[in-house]
Structure 1
């Protein structure tokens, strides 16, 4: 038996699925970036707080 080629409907469906996956991937990437920004923001603020307290203690001793 000879097999026929892929139809226009299948091509359109495949392109639609690819677009949906690409959009979802973009959304997930943005969420991960926002989460990392929050985590690093918290860690950076904790680092600044500890450095500030260290400097204050050093200045009191001097």
Structure 2
């Protein structure tokens, strides 16, 4: 039994699926970057405020 080659429709369908996965991957990557920026920004702000409060307490004691 001889198997036929891949048709033009199958090739187009495969390319469409690849494009959808690539687009979805880009969207997910952008979402992750936004979450990292928010998390890093909050942590950085918490660190700065804790350092400032420590400095204020240290200067107040002197």
TM-score (norm 2): 0.94
Matches within 5 A, 1:1-62: 1-62=1-62
Instruction: Detail structure 1 runs of 4+ shifted over 2 Å in the superposition.
Output: none
Q: Which runs of 5+ in 2 are unaligned?
A: none
Distance in 1 between residues matched to 2:30 and 2:24, nearest whole Å: 10
TM-score (norm 1): 0.94
Calculate the aligned-residue CA RMSD, in Å. Answer: 0.7
